[in-house]
């Protein structure tokens, strides 16, 4: 039988990385109720960690709630995430709606979505945000670095702020130096700066009167203007042509990958059609672990001479995965649609539906935050689904009325 060799190698690399001293839990509902002496990997539709984790905590799911302290780093990805227990290490979160009610002793890194840090919370390191909206009611002992989105600061910052965002409102004390670039900059009654401030604003010129310590200056710097605000208008004609050419190549290669997946994988996708929608939570969690774990493990492998070949293989497998990051979810979605709607589509019909889904995902991925999260979710589910098939974690569907166009004696995709 034919095997998806490069993908399988990538999957095996991840398994080798987490199979050691670690607790792995997956399912539609996952609850950790006993203290874990090692690293913990959890994935599911709804995840609750109610016990102490002595190692790292890696979690993925639709809804995640952490009620137990973590002794080392935390890495979470999902929809709604609540961190209601203290973390001794760094915390990295990718998600939609995020709330933190307890201290983080290391750095806090957030990508996308909305984040709220409650009053009384102390971030011991830096706060790093890409996109989304941040409401900071607690204190940050390090620096704040933010790009895109909105920042509402009602707490205190020891290390200063470097922010380029659509909207910034400061109503707290900042002891370090600041570089602020925003379309709109608002200073509240409690805003106070103990370090020098450089700023640029497009729509509103704030007043620093009474908000600066003795000897501290606030100066307007046009050079802080964010390039991405006018990026599409300032680029030359040649740059636009290059971007269009790259876009056409990506679409063409994605469509070609769609055709190849259906041509060589029709029998497998037909046999397991209907299973992806029934296993969204576990598939998403496993997919997140793959997307995050393979590059991490490959990077670690590069550190030693013996591990360099494994690192090369791992990154090669990851490159193959990324080349299918849009085509594979579209193909799986087409087969799922045919199964759920009980349609008698031929391979040609499946191909047309997959192309439509492919183009739809490409367009959706251009929508800030929501589109990015949707594309990431679809990709993670797709790779997690394939992983579950290879590892036989799911059973084939009952004999479907829609048969594959391949001969029953033909070679299989996996």
Q: Are residues 269 and 293 in the same domain?
A: yes
Classify residue 92: in a domain, yes or no. yes
- What token pair was written down for 48? 């609750």
Q: Are residues 241 and 129 in the same domain?
A: no
Q: Are residues 214 and 241 in the same domain?
A: no
DSSP string, 334-372: HHHHHHHTT----HHHHHHHHHHHHHHHHHHTTSTTHHH
For 205-234, what is the HEC assignment? CCCCCCCECCCCCEEECHHHCCHHHCHHHH
pTM for this model (two decimals): 0.57
- Domain containing residue 217: 5-228
Q: What residues have CB less than 8 Å from 336, skipping those under 6 apart?
A: 273, 274, 276, 277
Q: How many domains does the chain have?
A: 2
Classify residue 371: in a domain, yes or no. yes
Phi, psi angles (nearest 5°) of residue 30:
-120, 130
Quote the crossing angle between the two packed helices 327-340 and 347-364, to the nearest 10°: 130
DSSP string, 18-45: HSSSEEEEEEEEEEE-S-BSSEEEEEEE
Look at residue 144 in the predicted model and tell me its pLDDT.
92
Last residue within a domain, chosen from 195, 228, 261: 228
Low-confidence residues of the chain: pLDDT under 70 = 1-22, 26-27, 44, 112, 131, 204, 226-253, 295-323, 398-414
Q: Are residues 175 and 253 in the same domain?
A: no
Q: What residues have CB less than 8 Å from 20, skipping those under 6 apart?
A: none
Closest CA to 376 of 284, 297, 252, 246: 284
Chain centroid to CA 94: 5
Cα–Cα distance measured from residue 232 to residue 384, given in angstroms and rounded to the nearest whole number: 36
- What token pair was written down for 151? 């920042």
For 250-305, what is the HEC assignment? HHHHHHHHHHHHHHHHHHHHHHCCCCCHHHHHHHHHHHHHHHHHHHHHHHHHCCCC
Look at residue 308 in the predicted model and tell me its pLDDT.
60
Q: Are residues 259 and 219 in the same domain?
A: no
H or E stretch at 220: strand 218-220
Classify residue 414: in a domain, yes or no. no
β 74-83/57-66 pair status: parallel
Q: What share of the chain is helix, strand, coil (3-state, %, to 5)?
A: 35, 30, 35
Q: Are residues 154 and 245 in the same domain?
A: no
Cα–Cα distance measured from residue 168 to residue 159, given in angstroms and rounded to the nearest whole number: 17
Q: Are residues 250 and 218 in the same domain?
A: no
Classify residue 401: in a domain, yes or no. no
Classify residue 346: in a domain, yes or no. yes
Last residue within a domain, chosen from 177, 195, 228: 228
Classify residue 396: in a domain, yes or no. no
Look at residue 326 in the predicted model and tell me its pLDDT.
78
Cα–Cα distance measured from residue 78 to residue 97, given in angstroms and rounded to the nearest whole number: 9
Q: Are residues 310 and 172 in the same domain?
A: no
Q: Are residues 244 and 278 in the same domain?
A: yes
């Amino acid at each position: 039988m034919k095997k998806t060799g490069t993908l399988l190698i990538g999957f095996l690399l991840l398994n080798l990385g987490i199979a050691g001293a670690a607790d792995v839990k997956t399912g539609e509902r996952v609850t950790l109720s006993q203290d874990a002496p090692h690293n913990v990997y959890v994935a599911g539709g709804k995840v609750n960690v109610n016990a102490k984790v002595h190692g790292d905590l890696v979690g993925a799911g639709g809804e995640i709630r952490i009620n137990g302290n973590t002794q080392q780093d935390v890495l979470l990805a999902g929809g709604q995430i609540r961190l209601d227990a203290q973390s001794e290490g760094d915390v990295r979160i990718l998600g939609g709606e995020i709330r933190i009610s307890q201290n983080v002793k290391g750095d806090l890194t957030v990508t996308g979505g909305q984040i709220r840090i409650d009053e009384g919370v102390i971030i011991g390191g830096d706060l790093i945000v890409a996109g989304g909206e941040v409401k900071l009611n607690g204190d940050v002992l390090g620096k704040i670095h933010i790009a895109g989105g909105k920042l509402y600061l009602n707490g205190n910052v020891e290390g200063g702020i470097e922010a380029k965002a659509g909207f910034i409102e400061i109503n707290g004390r900042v002891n370090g130096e600041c570089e602020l670039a925003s379309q709109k900059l608002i200073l509240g009654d409690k805003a106070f700066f103990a370090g020098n401030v450089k700023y640029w604003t497009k729509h509103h010129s704030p007043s620093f009167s009474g908000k600066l310590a003795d000897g501290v200056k606030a100066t307007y710097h046009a050079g802080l203007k964010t390039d991405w605000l006018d990026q599409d208008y300032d680029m030359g004609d040649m740059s636009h042509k290059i971007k269009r050419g790259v876009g056409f190549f990506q679409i063409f290669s994605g469509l070609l990958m769609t055709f190849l997946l259906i041509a060589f994988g029709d029998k497998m996708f037909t046999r397991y059609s209907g299973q992806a929608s029934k296993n969204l939570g576990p598939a998403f969690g496993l997919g997140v672990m793959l997307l995050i774990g393979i590059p991490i493990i490959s990077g670690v492998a590069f550190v030693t001479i013996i591990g360099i070949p494994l690192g090369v293989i791992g990154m090669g497998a990851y490159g193959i995965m990324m080349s299918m990051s849009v085509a594979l979810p579209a193909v799986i979605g087409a087969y799922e649609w045919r199964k759920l709607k009980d349609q008698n589509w031929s391979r040609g019909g499946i191909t047309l539906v997959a192309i439509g889904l492919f183009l739809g995902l490409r367009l959706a991925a251009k929508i800030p935050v929501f589109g990015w999260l949707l594309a990431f979710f679809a990709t993670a589910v797709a790779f997690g689904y394939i992983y579950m098939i290879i590892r036989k974690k799911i059973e084939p569907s009952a004999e479907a009325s829609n048969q594959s166009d391949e001969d029953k004696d033909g070679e299989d995709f996996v």
